[in-house]
Amino acid sequence: MAEIDRIKEYIGALKIYLALITAFLMADISGTIKLYINNNIDFIFWIGIVTIFLLSLVFLSLAKHMHKKIDELKDL
């Protein structure tokens, strides 16, 4: 397999991971908001807040990595 095809496949996999993380973020945010609206601020609520923060960091690092790989394509 040529190097360009390998990088394209890698970028495609990164896109799928970003979509999954986005879905997890949406579900976590909606669940955490529901807990807040129901005035049920307990341990699970704070776990949701921490998870939102961690998933956001993972999303940003994957997006940065994907853009770096896209820049590698122009060099090939």
pLDDT digits (tens, 9 = 90+) for 15-54: 999 999 999 999 999 999 999 999 999 999 999 999 999 9
pTM here is: 0.82
Domain ranges of the chain: 3-75
Interhelix angle for 43-75 vs 3-37, to 10°? 160
pLDDT value, residue 5: 84
Token match 């998870």: residue? 51
Q: What is the rounded CA–CA span in Å between residue 64 and residue 61? A: 5
Evaluate whether 11 touches 69 at the Cβ level (below 8 Å): yes
pLDDT value, residue 60: 95
Could you tell me the end-to-end alpha-carbon distance of the chain, in angstroms, rounded to an integer?
14
